[in-house]
Amino acid sequence: MKLQFIGTGSGQTSLKRNHSSILIDSLDSKLLVDCGDGISKALLKNNISFKSIDSILFTHYHADHFSGISTLITQMKLNDRKNELKIFTHKNLVEPLKEFLHTCYLFEDKLEFEIKFFGYEFDKDYKVDKKLYFTAKQNSHIRNKYKVNSIDENRFVSASILLTGENAKIIYTSDIGEKEDLFLFETREPEIYITETTHIELEWLSEVVNFYRPKQIFLTHISDEDERKITVFLKNQTFLDTEKIVVTEDGQYVTLS
Ligand SMILES: [Zn+2]
Ligand SMILES: [Zn+2]
């Protein structure tokens, strides 16, 4: 299993980092987790063919995780893609996604490849391919701040995910809202724990280490402004094994045996 950080930036557009996206290669197929604004250029830059992405999984629909999808599907179309594309998104968001694509003149019957939409529910296991499974859990993200009403609730979905490959488990919190969201999964000792740096306090990482005992922690969703703060924090703290903590960069590869 391999993964590559395609976009490690935050919601703020940066010249240094692309918006959120992680490519997971299970060695059976390639899954893109989120495809933020600018994903097509980011994939080109990393020499990743638009045809090679077999499936896409969305954690939530903030623009920095979602809005690259219309350009990406357009590029697949322009590059004569023929192979099927699977899209995993929360079940409440399948119809809004289709509507969005139609608004971008992307109609399923006008494409030469099939898009299969899978609406996932929280706390259930789903198969991506022969070697890769995922489970999603609802996190709070901006829910508390926005005080969503019951109608919005159907659309306001934000997931953290656990990916289980042949020899490795990966937890990706995606964007969260409060400390408790760091501890949603019961799985311990994942090979990789990926979390974001925009909505968390870096001090909480020591609790993540104690709770999960991950082999490595990857920090992503980094704004230009926070980059220096993170480096200074890691340099000055004493309770974390800093060799285990990786401040991600765009294009960075990780191979898991
Ligand atoms: Zn974000
Ligand atoms: Zn977000």
% pLDDT > 90, the chain: 88
Least confident of 1-10, 135-144, 187-196: 135-144
| Smallest-distance ligand from the CA of 145 | 2
Q: How far away, in angstroms, is 110 Cα from ligand 1 center?
A: 31
Q: How far away, in angstroms, is 89 Cα from ligand 1 center?
A: 16
User: Do 129 and 29 contact (CB within 8 A), yes or no?
Assistant: yes
pTM over 0.85? The answer is yes
pLDDT in tens, 20-73: 999 999 999 999 999 999 999 999 999 999 999 999 999 999 999 999 999 999
Confidence of residue 189 (pLDDT cuts 50, 70, 90): very high
The pLDDT score that the predictor gives to residue 242 is 81
Give the mean model confidence (pLDDT) for residues 122-144.
94
| Smallest-distance ligand from the CA of 157 | 2
User: Do 69 and 76 contact (CB within 8 A), yes or no?
Assistant: no
The pLDDT score that the predictor gives to residue 112 is 97
| Smallest-distance ligand from the CA of 223 | 1
CA distances from 73 to 59, 78, 85 (A): 18, 9, 9
Provide the residues around ligand 2 (an ion) whose CB is within 5 A: 62, 175
The pLDDT score that the predictor gives to residue 76 is 98
Domains and CATH numbers, the chain: 2-255 (3.60.15.10)
**Phi/psi at 95 (5° precision):** -65, -45
Q: How far away, in angstroms, is 61 Cα from ligand 2 center?
A: 7
Q: Examine the pLDDT at 150 and tell me if it is beyond 80.
A: no
The single-letter DSSP state of residue 9 is B
d(CA 200, CA 74): 35
Confidence of residue 151 (pLDDT cuts 50, 70, 90): low
Q: How far away, in angstroms, is 112 Cα from ligand 1 center?
A: 32
